A and B are shown apart, each in its own frame.
Chain A
Amino acid sequence: MVITGAGIVTSMGLGMSENAAGFREGRTAFREVDLFDVSQQRTKSAGQAVLPEKPPGVGARAWERMDRGTRFALVAAREALDEAGVSGAMPVVIGTSAGAMPIGEDFYRHAIAGERLGQFRRVECYQPQGQLTRMMAELGVAGPLRIISNACASGANAIGHAFQMIREGKADRVLAGGYDGLAQLVFAGFDSLQALSPSGVPRPFDAARDGLAIGEGAGFVVVESLEAARERGARMRASVLGYGAATDIHHLTQPHPEGDAALLTMTEATRMAGLEPEQIDYINSHGTGTPLNDVAEAGAVRRWAGDAAGKIRLSSTKSSIGHLLGGAGAVESVICLMTLEGQWLPGSLGVREVDPAVTFDLVREPREVEVRHALTNSFGFGGANATLIFGREVPA
């Protein structure tokens, strides 16, 4: 299975080039949220992205009806499809956590006030399956559509599903990715859990880390069978080598302290890829910057890599753009593709004192190295855990 196209939108920028440049330079992209009232929240900033303009070829009415998150998704998916040079009949698998939540919030506010004008349109536009079906129509992609909502692992699961569909001969190619836009309910929700960093700057794997920052955007890829890609002479970016998924039943919002399910997914993904942990050149970690997540992931990496742990290079790009929730796994997969192409690693920025649980090589600033295999972890509320492995080499 190979990747023949990729696209991305984050607070770092629009498209592969802008994002790669930002991560390579070690930039952060956080700002005060101005989409809704944050004056009474403990945290006031996030990785708020610049909303792209309507792409050429997309109908004005369709664009106007799309919520913020779907617009990010459309732009990233368009970039991936354009690079791959495909459209038409293909399954689409998309991860999201919030869907078109801001439109639902709008419906609620009008309903409370007893206002009916415009409510039908809000109901219709609130539903993610309606939004994404319209997006597919604008992209010229016929489906079928599968929307996965496994909280923060959704995007990684979506690419994993695509990988499995192709591996088992159910499709030649699949458009897969994940997205989420900022929403007041979600922002306030994480704030209520005291999961947001009060400073607004997440420091994953820092001993004094104090929470995450929420981000927004989308990441998409075209996953294709090697045969189908070869047949049409497509440029192949990378291989998809392994996928693991498991369920952490410890708690609805807290990971197992030793990262049991994360260990399962990393073990399964490396087994499927036919690799040993020491052959993984880079891990793009889940690394949210919350006290519980990072120590659990560090424990899982230590158990998975054993004696090789010290050689494993790992960073969290959430330190630059925040946590994209349902989009995180897909965006971080696309960042792994950038590292394979550019032979550099993004840094875990803002770390002042490394947490004692860290036994791996924490990459604290961008680094030029050889990257043959990159692994990304995603863990979600509810216990959804997923790991994906990508390889630079494409079979001859």
Chain B
Amino acid sequence: MSRITASGIGAVSPAGWGLEPMMAALDANQRPEVGEFERTTTGGEVVRTPVLRVPKLEDRSKLPRDPRLRRASAVGKFAAAAMYEALGVERFEAVKAGDLRLGVVCTMMNGCVNYSNRFYGEVLEAPATASPILFPETVYNAPSSHLSAVAHSHAPNDTLVGDGAEFFTGLELAAEWLERGDCDLCVVVSPEEADWLSAEAMGYYSSRMLPAEGAAAVVLEKDGAGPQLMAVPDSVNYAGESDRVAAFARLWQELEAEDDGATVWADGRVGVGRFDLPENSVSWSGPRFSLRRVLGESLGASAGLQTVAALARLNRSDAGSAIVTSVGGNEAVGGARWSR
């Protein structure tokens, strides 16, 4: 098997557009300002839900310029900005010129909920006049389609839907494509947007989870520069192992994590005991950080952001290797191991 390496990373998070503000927030352990959604039910009740939102985009150079993005929903723009940062301008232009074939894997849980919410509202009100502009943006693969379009790439493009551990399946798929030669580079992107509907839905799981949004992007290539993907075991599905602690233990064994003091663990703990139990059940004395406790729970995006943060720490030589894990809510546990 070839060396699969992460030659670029990008992020959009509640801390801001780009890797820098996210790492600054994590390094300072500083949660960005919490906002809230407010809406009124048909019965007149005002419902307020706290949320960590991505700040408004001030610097347009963070987004590639393309007509496709004009009507795209926030989730599509988050994805495009994260990919653009991860590729860098030079490689982005090389892909556009056809010199590099870029595969795209998008992993998500919530998907294009904002436009789905709005479109379905219109359908209930007056189906005959529901907007034909909104509907195409409701499909899960709208963001990944925009990514291939802005990069002018005909290479494979897949959208994977799953729980909070899906990002690792995306890494596995990208490695498959690179190994087979389906593309020269593959970007794995995990975008999510928040709206009142999804934020309130999360509240049914725990009022202590803070809904958030954002996107992570990792550019993988064969034998390139950057940290190497050492292991991305098959996710352990709850159909075969319904006990999450046992499922996590199985994954942990396959990751072959070494608690050697030089390995950093980017875990998926969110600060709610029953959800954190599997990752708390493993003994670990080395460096460790819990991104979701700072940047909130952004569903499918969180594991991607954990990965980007771990890779950033490897890139700046904070650690020699990194473990990234996530205990998904209703499908699987997943993880990956990287080495500088």
Chain B residues with CB under 8 Å of A91's CB are 234
Residues of B within 8 A of A42 (CB): 128
Q: A143-B239, A383-B145 are in contact. List 9 more A-B contacts (CB 8 A).
A: A119-B204, A128-B161, A145-B239, A188-B123, A194-B132, A247-B148, A248-B154, A252-B145, A382-B141
**Complex CA distance for A148 and B158, rounded to whole angstroms:** 7
* Chain B interfacial residues counted at CB < 8 A: 72
User: Contact partner of B332 among A144, A193, A260, A261, CB < 8 A?
Assistant: A144
State the CA gap A246–B103 with chains docked (Å): 10
- Closest chain-A Cβ to B41's Cβ sits at a distance in Å of 3
**B57 is an interface residue with CB less than 8 A from chain A:** no
Taking a contact as CB atoms under 8 Å apart, the answer to whether B159 and A249 are in contact is no
Task: Indicate whether B339 reaches chain A with its CB closer than 8 angstroms.
Answer: no
The answer to whether A247 and B157 have CB atoms under 8 Å apart is: yes
B150 to chain A, nearest CB (A): 9
| Contacting pair B140 A149 (CB below 8 A) | yes
11 A-B contacts, Cβ less than 8 Å apart? A119-B204, A120-B204, A130-B331, A144-B169, A144-B332, A146-B173, A147-B161, A150-B141, A247-B157, A252-B136, A380-B141
Q: Is A137 interfacial (CB-CB < 8 Å)?
A: yes
Chain B residues whose CB sits within 8 angstroms of the CB of A193 once the complex forms = 132, 135-136
Judge if A189 is at the interface, Cβ distance under 8 Å. yes
Contact in complex: A151, B161 (CB < 8 Å): no
What 1/0 flags go to A130-153 for Cβ under 8 Å of B? 101110110001111111111100
- Choose, from A104-112, A199-207, A211-219, the stretch at the interface: A104-112
Look across to chain A and name the residue whose beta carbon is closest to the beta carbon of B128. A40
Which of B113-121, B217-225, B310-318 lies on the face that meets chain A?
B113-121
When chains A and B are docked, how far (Å) is the Cα of A89 from the Cα of B235?
Answer: 13
- A196 smallest CB distance to B (angstroms): 12
For B129-146 the 0/1 string (1 means CB < 8 A from A) is: 011100111111110111
Query: Could you tell me if B140 and A97 are in contact, using CB atoms closer than 8 angstroms?
Result: yes
Task: List A101-130 residues whose CB lies under 8 Å from chain B.
Answer: 104-105, 107-109, 111-114, 119-120, 123-124, 127-130
Segment 174-202 of A: residues with Cβ below 8 Å from B: 184-185, 188-194
Contact A146 B159 (CB under 8 A): no
Contact with B along A310-321 (1 / 0, CB 8 A): 000000000000
Residues of B within 8 A of A112 (CB): 41-42, 121
**How far apart are B98's CB and chain A's nearest CB, in angstroms?**
12
Known pairs A89-B240, A133-B330, A185-B120; A150 contacts B158 (CB<8 A): yes
Q: Is A127 within 8 A of B119, CB to CB? A: no
Cα–Cα, bound, A132→B111 (Å) = 17
